[in-house]
Structure 1
């Protein structure tokens, strides 16, 4: 390989690396936001609506294969325009209500632009698949410019995630040609999974109501909080001062 050819390969490599880095940085930005939400809910509500998260970035080979399937050009602009799921983040929750709670919180982030919402919970796919999909643009600040990078976010319950994982493994094993009998059983399993989600949602609400009644009169306990595993108590004088501010509508937090 000549020197000029080597330089050309190096230039192409750097362009591809820079392109892929933008999606990595966008995922990092989004994961940081999710981590902040998790900690906020843990500290303020003694409850974490997010069980776990998983991120992924499509490989260059996967990107090229999808471009060919869609019959699109192979330029960077074509990739940006036609492939919106290069970066993906999956958020798994315990309850259905958590899904919409998290979606609302992300929608309220002023620097995130929600481009599209696909609600496969209210409108499941024919095979039984359920999940909430958000297509959003995340701002990434590079050394010489700002890029708004697409990230696909899937939010689902543990039961939905288990079913989707099982369905994917079955389709992979049968190379997309799944027998009709198994397809029917998968659909029935999805319905059973949804029934479990609805039952757990009801139990969750009843337990939260009971907890609220138990702690309603425990003023001393309510005046305690914890940050970075350190316990703090709100002084009575500060509590009285802030109570007056809240009554006058002066609370700024």
Structure 2
């Protein structure tokens, strides 16, 4: 009888430990999900502000991803990282990821500066693969930023990987990624050479399109991109009479 009681007690302890581990891991993953949500909110605010106020947004598209538990374990083993939540949190900084696609090269740096300058965002690392591309031609601006997530019982700093690139860079990277996995990481030399050449072509396209954009902006001359045009307001429009009064300054609101 005593043996059965001991066995039942051990099982109860094991179940309690398992429940605690499951709860801890769930909160661990949720913190990264919330980190993405926090940063996505900031990015979408910037996008909307530019759309409605400046009538041009440097942000074309935003996407996010959260590593699966399986991929986290694979990466931890590859880095010889102990499989504890604290060690994983310290050694793996790309569990949460956001990708921002811009129109022009200058926009990538502009967005990075705007996000990094916010008071509750801390830039931990910058890898500029635009200025110094990878050998295969890969280009992108990578940042690891840390953002506070307000949980029910604590403030959890969460690292998020930001990848900021142009449309041309993103198209090339998506194709390279598919080819990389199709050949299990060993891309035939002729195909690799063509990929590198395609990266050069994408870069020339980026440079040309930005030059054309700058020339058009110059031609527009004195027209301010920040001006409010009464006949073509963005979706969040105000009554015409109110706008006239605000701009004129001669009528009480």
TM-score class, shorter-chain normalisation, is: 0.7 to 0.9
* Contact residue 135 and residue 150 of structure 1 kept, 8 A: yes
Q: How does 1:36-185 map to 2 (within 5 A)?
A: 36-185=45-194
Check if 1:231 corresponds to 2:238.
yes
Report if aligned partners of 2:51, 2:57 keep a CA contact under 8 Å in 1.
Answer: yes
Structure 2 residue aligned with 1:20, among 26, 29, 37?
29
Q: With structure 2 as the length reference, what TM-score do the two structures score?
A: 0.87
- Change in Cα spacing, 1:118 to 1:240, as seen in structure 2 (3 Å) is same
- CA apart distance, 1:239: 3.1
Measured in 2, the distance between the counterparts of 1:93 and 1:236 equals 34
Alignment of 1:163-242 (within 5 A): 163-213=172-222, 215=223, 222=229, 226=233, 228-233=235-240, 238-239=246-247, 241=249
Name the SS of the counterpart of 1:230 in structure 2: coil
1: CA distance between counterparts of 2:85 and 2:71? 14
Cα distance between partner residues in 1 of 2:239 and 2:212: 32
Q: Which of 6-15 and 110-119 deviates more? A: 6-15
TM-score normalised to the size of structure 1? 0.87
Q: Deviations over 1:182-206 (max 9, x none)?
A: 1111110000000000001011112
Q: Distance in 1 between matches of 2:32 and 2:164?
A: 19
Equivalent residues of 1:225, 1:232 under 8 A apart: no
Q: Is the 8 A contact 1:118 1:134 kept in 2?
A: yes
Aligned CA RMSD, in angstroms, stands at 2.1
Greater RCO (Cα-Cα under 8 Å, separation 6 or more): 2
Which protein is bigger by CA-based radius of gyration? 2
Judge conservation of contact 1:43–1:225 (CA < 8 Å) in 2.
Answer: no
Q: Which runs of 5+ in 2 are unaligned?
A: 1-7
Structure 2 partner of 1:9: 18
Q: Give 3-state SS (helix, strand or coil) of 1:9's partner.
A: helix
